[in-house]
Amino acid sequence: MIPSSSSCFPSSSHRSRVIAPSLFPSPPPPPFAHPRLLAAGSSLSDLTTASARRFIDNRHGVDRALNWDARAISRLAYPPRDLWSRVWRAPSTPKQRETFYKILLNSLPVGARKAHFSRLDPQDVFCHVCPRNRQTLQHLLFDCPLAQQVWLDFASLFELSYASISLSNVLFSWPTGASSFLERAFGYRLQAGHAVAIHTLWSASVAASRRQVPASRVSISAQFRTALRRHFCTLRSSSRWSARLGDLPSHLFA
């Protein structure tokens, strides 16, 4: 005789008080919960996607975002390892960073690059100050008399030797605190001055192309000094940069 359901199972009121035994024991805490466990050179609490990616790239020898060997800029000088921090973490404005970024990727429309445009005036290929010289990136930023004047002013204002300013410095700026004689605050000042210098040279080139009136050494010097003074006034009023730049010399505002 098959017993009735009431004799096999407890009533509904009784079932509510019955707690089924656990079939599996509670799993132990995962090993990565240990506060001292490291991954990718960092504790797990500090690990981010960016830090993990950098760690993996370094292990595989791919520590650069771009293959500079295939880039035109490497024909002039090879970029330093801390290049992108000089671009995106320097005391510069978005417009200045855009100019810097285009220089590195060879996308700045200098005369030599515009030579492939069929409707371009042939004269636009050449420097507006040096009509016999093609306006290459090196000529615009380093060889042109306007560039020489800007870097001469740069050296004077930051108390550097003009001969010490290399093409690599012009293309890639300066590091912050990379050596014992270069203080971190002074490195930031050089980066700020570099951002103003390259943007001034490019702006003067664009203005000359549109108006067909090239700048002179006197006018480019005044433009650079005015822009530099305005830029440092802005940085000095910034809570982020005032402490990093330190006590700015008074002659930067003269």
Could you report the per-residue pLDDT of 205-235, keeping only the tens digit for each?
999 988 778 899 999 999 999 999 999 999 9
Which residue has 């971190």 as its token pair?
Answer: 184
Task: State whether 55 and 95 are in the same domain.
Answer: no
Q: Where are the beta strands (DSSP E) in the chain?
A: 38-39, 42-43
Helix-helix angle 184-211:217-236, to 10 degrees? 130
Backbone angles phi, psi at 179, to 5 degrees: -145, 170
Number of domains, the chain: 2
Task: State whether 153 and 55 are in the same domain.
Answer: no
Query: Residue 247's CB: how many other CB atoms inside 10 A?
Result: 7
Task: State whether 154 and 76 are in the same domain.
Answer: yes
CA 44/CA 144 separation, integer angstroms: 52
In a domain, 142, yes or no: yes
In a domain, 132, yes or no: yes
Task: State whether 52 and 121 are in the same domain.
Answer: no
Give tens-digit pLDDT for 91-135.
999 999 999 999 999 999 998 887 776 566 667 788 989 989 999
Task: State whether 43 and 120 are in the same domain.
Answer: no
Beta bridge partners of 182: 179
Task: State whether 173 and 53 are in the same domain.
Answer: no
Q: Which residues contact 198 (CB under 8 A, 6 or more apart)?
A: 96, 99, 100, 103, 141, 170
Give tens-digit pLDDT for 127-171.
989 989 999 999 999 999 999 999 999 999 999 999 999 999 999
Task: State whether 142 and 52 are in the same domain.
Answer: no
Residue 41 belongs to domain spanning: 28-63
Task: State whether 56 and 73 are in the same domain.
Answer: no
Ramachandran quadrant class, 41 (left: phi over 0; alpha: psi -120 to 50; beta: rest):
left
Please state the rounded mean pLDDT for residues 19-32: 54
In a domain, 16, yes or no: no
Task: State whether 38 and 92 are in the same domain.
Answer: no
- Taking alpha carbons only, the member of 203, 16, 196 closest to residue 90 is 196
Indicate the pTM of the whole model. Answer: 0.74
Q: How confident is the model at residue 81 (pLDDT cuts 50, 70, 90)?
A: confident
In a domain, 8, yes or no: no
